[in-house]
Structure 1
Amino acid sequence: MSSAAGEHSSPAMGSWPGHAADRPFQRGYTTPPQERRAVADAHSTKLWLSTLLATVDQAVIVMIVIGCAWPVLWTGWHIVVGLTVAGFGVVLLGRQFRALECMAHEASHYNWTRANRRLNDQLATVLSCVPTGSRLDVYRASHLRHHRRFGTRDDPDLANYRQFGLEELDRSGILSFALDSLSRMPAYRRRWKETSGGLGRLPAMPFLWAVVLAIVPAGIVWGSWSAAFAATGVWLLGYGVLLPVVRFLGECNEHIYTGSQTVFDSTISNLGLMSRLFIHPHGDGYHTVHHLWPGVPHHRIRNLHRRLVVNDPEGYTARLRHRTRFLSSPVRGLRPEGRAGR
């Protein structure tokens, strides 16, 4: 999933080797005949499950903000414990907001429900878009252009990769990667603000959501306006600082356009534990399957990946580009005993 979808290409767009500026990349994968029924079945949605997961993600955010509000106000040596607890809470908040963005991404493909598209959009807006400050119709228009015009000058993700040099990030070590990424964050965040669409005339909606569901309740629970003030700080750090970082980490690992000719070859599946749990929640790490079949919802994508690993060893398993460690370069082919994603 790419949340910070840029609308305009950079001046150098189309200069990469093998990049057909006006013709989308070919799919690069043929579904085995014996798997076509399974692929078709994998497109079925479960509205109740998507609604439940987004609701739980919201509830966890609220509990983290309220739970971390009081410890940061402790005095004496207890303040170290309080700030440590709050620090862990802020990190978890970044993950939870990212999870809601992934659910908005699912809704952009009508993967909550295709039986009632209006309900799909209404529920996703309330449960996923309002807390994260995005607008589903604007995001959908940009993201579907990424799928339909993949690899062309109209591909908003390719524009981001070019503008921010995402393929050139220094992955030689944690510190070098962190410094290299941080140098790109100011411009990356500006682009996100310009292109996310916001919530129309209500760009403060995420803050209002936090006030109603977390900040004021924190003051009530702990009986202190100081706790409400602390809850505001915890929320601001999670939403305003950690979420953009987690979003950036997710986007920079999804594709390698250079030298690729097909969607299959230029898409990377991130199958490591940290990626699946923290950076790419709700199945977004199985990005190759997503680009092959965008209509497969989050609750079925992992099983479809595992099925193809077993049943298509030459066409899928041996060719799949993936990484299991965040800083590693992607490799091609899964080992038979390493059916990643289990």
Structure 2
Amino acid sequence: MKAHDILSRQEIRELMTKNNLRATWIIASCWAWVIAAMTLVAIWPNVVTIILAVLIIGGRQLSFAILMHDCGHNSLFKSTKLNQFMGTWLAAAPVFSDMQTYSRQHSIHHKDVGTSKDPDLVNYSGYPITKPSMVRKVLRDLIGLTALKYWFYILETRLQGNKSMISNIALCRALAVNLVLFLGCYLLNVPWLYWVWFLAYNTTYFLFLRIRHVGEHAAVPNPLSKDMFENTRTTLASWWERILVCPVYVNYHIEHHLLPSVPPYNLRQMHKWLVSRNAYANTPLPSGYIAMLRTVVI
């Protein structure tokens, strides 16, 4: 099923219209959440506020990865240069990612989703899995082993001179941005506060990233189908899930695969139109990520 089979040309044109103000608001609000969480810990430093901050910041770090993805599609801002700048410095660099490398690989994902050519296949092909296996994955994320594996991967590729998911230039940008974050905390006389950010990155970020990958393509009705209503999943999310595991409209993933150039802030409207046309008649729409996880755990 194609977008033109369901939506009119006028509707598609409206959905693909970009809005710089809305795009700027999304990026600014994500950073505002980070600042608010770190401020909370700075004012009331205790176990409860640190746990809350690590959860919130991990969710916002995931939002930066998603915004990098949107800027890579050139779908967030009207200007290509603005997408490149914002996606590189305010989205990719803070979470040690490389937008250019990611975008090249992600274009293959859209073309070959579910096949052996899909670079993202490793993130979802093993599902469904058993409950003990899922528990082990979650624990590895939360105690930092998944992040440690990523750090070793970066170190190994640098020592061996191999190509990596993050180039040397992108790694330098990431280190520079994180140094700015640390210096900001230092100048405010709370240098230890940076480690709350770093703790979130090494724990909840990788957990939420895993849940995002699982939610998008794991254990779908027909992973080898060319129809995104069969090889991709949209999950209906609650308010707290939008804060943590599916920020900036990433839960509308069928919609994204149907029209990858649609800005994220228009995906909800697209979903409403698809529902009104009965496009999901034969497609499961889990009511929340807990319900989604139940479908991928046996």
The equivalent position to 2:284 in structure 1, one of 321, 335, 342, is 321
- Corresponding position: 1:121 with 2:105: no
What code does the residue aligned with 2:20 have?
L
Between 1:83-92 and 1:146-155, the stretch displaced more is 146-155
* C-alpha distance in 2 between matches for 1:170 and 1:132: 30
**Secondary structure of the corresponding residue to residue 289 of structure 2:** coil
Q: Answer yes or no: is the 8 Å Cα contact 2:229–2:254 preserved in 1.
A: yes
Between 1:184-193 and 1:237-246, the stretch displaced more is 184-193
The equivalent position to 2:212 in structure 1, one of 247, 250, 254, is 250
TM-score, normalising length: structure 1: 0.72
The offset of 1:204, in angstroms, is: 5.8
The equivalent position to 1:109 in structure 2, one of 73, 91, 105, is 73
Residues 32-71 of structure 1 aligned to structure 2 (within 5 Å): 32=5, 35-69=8-42, 71=44
Q: Unmatched 5+ residue regions in structure 2?
A: 155-162
The offset of 1:87, in angstroms, is: 1.1
Between 1:249-258 and 1:283-292, the stretch displaced more is 249-258
Match of 1:170 in 2: 130
- Corresponding position: 1:295 with 2:261: yes
What code does the residue aligned with 1:305 have?
H
What code does the residue aligned with 1:109 have?
H
Residues 239-278 of structure 1 aligned to structure 2 (within 5 Å): 239-255=201-217, 256=219, 259-260=222-223, 261=225, 262-273=227-238, 274-278=240-244
Q: Which has the larger radius of gyration?
A: 1
Match of 1:157 in 2: 120
Post-superposition Cα deviations, 1:94-136, rounded to whole Å, max 9, x if no partner, equal: 011111111111111110235x322321122121112111111
- Structure 1 pair 200–56 and aligned structure 2 pair: CA distance change class (3 A): farther
Match of 2:191 in 1: 228
**Secondary structure of the corresponding residue to residue 281 of structure 1:** coil
**Secondary structure of the corresponding residue to residue 218 of structure 1:** helix
- Structure 1 pair 270–34 and aligned structure 2 pair: CA distance change class (3 A): closer
Match of 1:217 in 2: 184
Match of 1:76 in 2: none
What code does the residue aligned with 2:177 have?
W
Match of 1:198 in 2: 166
* C-alpha distance in 2 between matches for 1:212 and 1:240: 19
What code does the residue aligned with 1:279 have?
V
Match of 1:8 in 2: none
What code does the residue aligned with 1:169 have?
I
* C-alpha distance in 1 between matches for 2:283 and 2:119: 24
Q: Answer yes or no: is the 8 Å Cα contact 1:94–1:243 preserved in 2.
A: yes
- Structure 1 pair 303–141 and aligned structure 2 pair: CA distance change class (3 A): same
The offset of 1:39, in angstroms, is: 1.9
The offset of 1:196, in angstroms, is: 6.8
* C-alpha distance in 2 between matches for 1:133 and 1:259: 33
* C-alpha distance in 1 between matches for 2:266 and 2:164: 27
Q: Unmatched 5+ residue regions in structure 1?
A: 1-27, 73-81, 333-342
Residues 77-116 of structure 1 aligned to structure 2 (within 5 Å): 82-114=46-78, 116=79
What code does the residue aligned with 1:254 have?
E
- Structure 1 pair 241–102 and aligned structure 2 pair: CA distance change class (3 A): same
Q: Answer yes or no: is the 8 Å Cα contact 1:68–1:86 preserved in 2.
A: yes
- Structure 1 pair 322–331 and aligned structure 2 pair: CA distance change class (3 A): farther
Aligned alpha-carbon RMSD (Å): 3.0
| Number of residues of Structure 1 aligned to a counterpart in Structure 2 | 280
Match of 2:245 in 1: 279
- Structure 1 pair 108–148 and aligned structure 2 pair: CA distance change class (3 A): same
**Secondary structure of the corresponding residue to residue 291 of structure 2:** coil
- Structure 1 pair 263–95 and aligned structure 2 pair: CA distance change class (3 A): same
What code does the residue aligned with 2:61 have?
F
Q: Answer yes or no: is the 8 Å Cα contact 1:267–1:321 preserved in 2.
A: no
Q: Answer yes or no: is the 8 Å Cα contact 1:271–1:323 preserved in 2.
A: yes
* C-alpha distance in 2 between matches for 1:212 and 1:134: 16
The offset of 1:239, in angstroms, is: 1.5
What code does the residue aligned with 1:179 have?
R
TM-score, normalising length: structure 2: 0.81
Q: Answer yes or no: is the 8 Å Cα contact 1:145–1:155 preserved in 2.
A: yes
